Amino acid sequence: MKVDRALIIRGKDVPLSVEYAEGCAKSCEEHGLPYEFIDAVYMAPGQAAYDSVGAKIKHNWGFNNGNAGCHASMIKCWDRIIELDKTCLILEHDALVCGDTTTIDIPDDAVVTFGFRIGTGQTYKPISKIKTLTRIQKSVGAHAYAITPKTAKWLIHDARVVGLTCGVDRWLMMGPRSGLPLYVADPPQAVCWVRKSSMGHKEQKNTGRSFGVTSPHNNAECANLPSWKQGLSHK
């Protein structure tokens, strides 16, 4: 089942998140990808964020408000995928689509990331349309990934019946601890453009101080994907 549309997560009352999400939406439009916005669970106390989407915590792994809100927002996206009964590309607000994301079938019972992180002074352009899905052991960040409705149902059951044991990045990307195989669209067709965190923008009362992820760090496996390296450039 190919990607039907993007689900863009945004904090609708957070100006910086809205700004990023508008850029994400524009990139979808530029590449012919329909999209809709998903209102983020934003800066709720950690347990309250999970409670808002009916998630069960199997044990507290020391999650913070930002991580809990991100995970809860992902659960809202999984619900939407089940409702639509369509495969979707889930995009965090700071992601950008760089190419055609609709040309390859997404397998059931798997997670497909569509690209990695870039920082200031870097640009990325896919060298071609997707040729294959390449199995990888881990990635960094759940900023641009696609799942099918069957996979979404599995994830929802895990979240609400089995119970969560770690945050969404570790569950889907860093390991991944879910046990679901992880693939990358090869060549990648999206990026996360790492900038000032919108969580910091809200928490710091618009002082401009950054909080959270400030580095475009990718693990070595990501960075060494040949098609990624060929499409990455520095200004």
pLDDT for 202 equals 40
CATH assignment of the domain containing 157? 3.90.550
Number of domains within the chain = 1
Single out the residue of 108, 90, 66, 111 nearest to residue 210, CA to CA.
66
Question: Does the predicted model carry a pTM greater than 0.75?
Answer: yes
pLDDT for 54 equals 95
Q: Which whole-number Å values give the CA distances from 23 to 33, 43, 84, 93, 192, in the listed order?
A: 14, 22, 24, 8, 12
Spatial neighbors of 46 by CB under 8 A, at least 6 apart, are 63, 64, 65, 67, 68
Is 48:25 a contact under the CB 8 Å cutoff?
no
Q: Range of 200's domain?
A: 5-234
DSSP labels, 62-79:
---HHHHHHHHHHHHHHH
Token pair 């993007």: residue: 6
pLDDT for 223 equals 72
Is 126:101 a contact under the CB 8 Å cutoff?
no
- Residue-by-residue pLDDT tens, the chain, 235 positions: 999 999 999 999 999 999 999 999 999 999 999 999 999 998 677 888 999 999 999 877 777 778 889 999 999 999 999 999 999 999 999 999 999 999 999 999 999 999 999 987 789 999 999 999 999 999 989 999 999 999 999 999 999 999 998 889 889 998 778 889 999 999 999 999 988 777 654 433 333 333 333 445 677 677 789 999 999 986 5
